[in-house]
């Protein structure tokens, strides 16, 4: 028995192969995009962690080079190198590592600023306004008994 292939069968098989190839190419392109995002996220997060580790390990005096924080200075240099094309095809990786260094620097600044704000809020004490007015106390400290008398209107 002979195998008979017509040009129509061959044409159908070629179209099916072409569609399969197109779907495979689309899936591969999507995977490249996902991989690119995963690599960038790993570079940013890893460098932020590394710079944070360095800041935690080094004494404060050694965290600056020529008066510039190592995280901030590294971020600027890495971005300059990336924009200058020094990394060639890998310039995007320089930018990602620079973003991590900048994230680490800004996180440290946020922590320091938050700590300062908390300390200032603690020093100012609670703010309480009432309907008692000054009643001649002129900001002086009151004992518990004096405060109780004042609240009952006995002063």
19-44 per-position pLDDT tens digit:
788 777 877 777 877 888 889 999 99
Give yes or no for a contact between 47 and 97, defined as CB atoms under 8 angstroms apart.
yes
105-150 per-position pLDDT tens digit:
999 999 999 999 988 887 776 655 555 555 566 666 778 887 787 7
Q: What six digits make up the tokens of 55? A: 């800041």
Q: Rounded distance, CA 47 to CA 41, Å?
A: 10
Q: Rounded distance, CA 110 to CA 104, Å?
A: 10
84-114 per-position pLDDT tens digit:
988 899 999 999 999 999 999 999 999 999 9
């Amino acid at each position: 028995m002979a195998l008979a292939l017509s040009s129509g069968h061959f044409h159908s098989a070629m179209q099916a192969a072409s569609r399969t190839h197109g779907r495979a190419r689309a899936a591969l392109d999507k995977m490249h995009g996902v991989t690119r995002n995963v690599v960038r996220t790993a570079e940013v997060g890893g460098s932020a962690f590394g710079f944070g580790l360095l800041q935690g390990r080094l004494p404060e005096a050694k965290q600056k080079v020529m008066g510039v924080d190592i995280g901030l200075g590294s971020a600027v240099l890495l971005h300059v190198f990336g924009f200058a094309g020094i990394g060639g095809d890998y310039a995007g990786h320089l930018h990602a590592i620079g973003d991590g260094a900048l994230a680490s620097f800004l996180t440290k600044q946020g922590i320091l600023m938050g700590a300062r704000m908390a300390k200032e809020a603690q020093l100012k004490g609670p703010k309480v306004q009432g309907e008692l007015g000054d009643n001649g106390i002129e900001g002086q400290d009151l004992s518990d008994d004096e405060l109780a008398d004042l609240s009952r209107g006995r002063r």
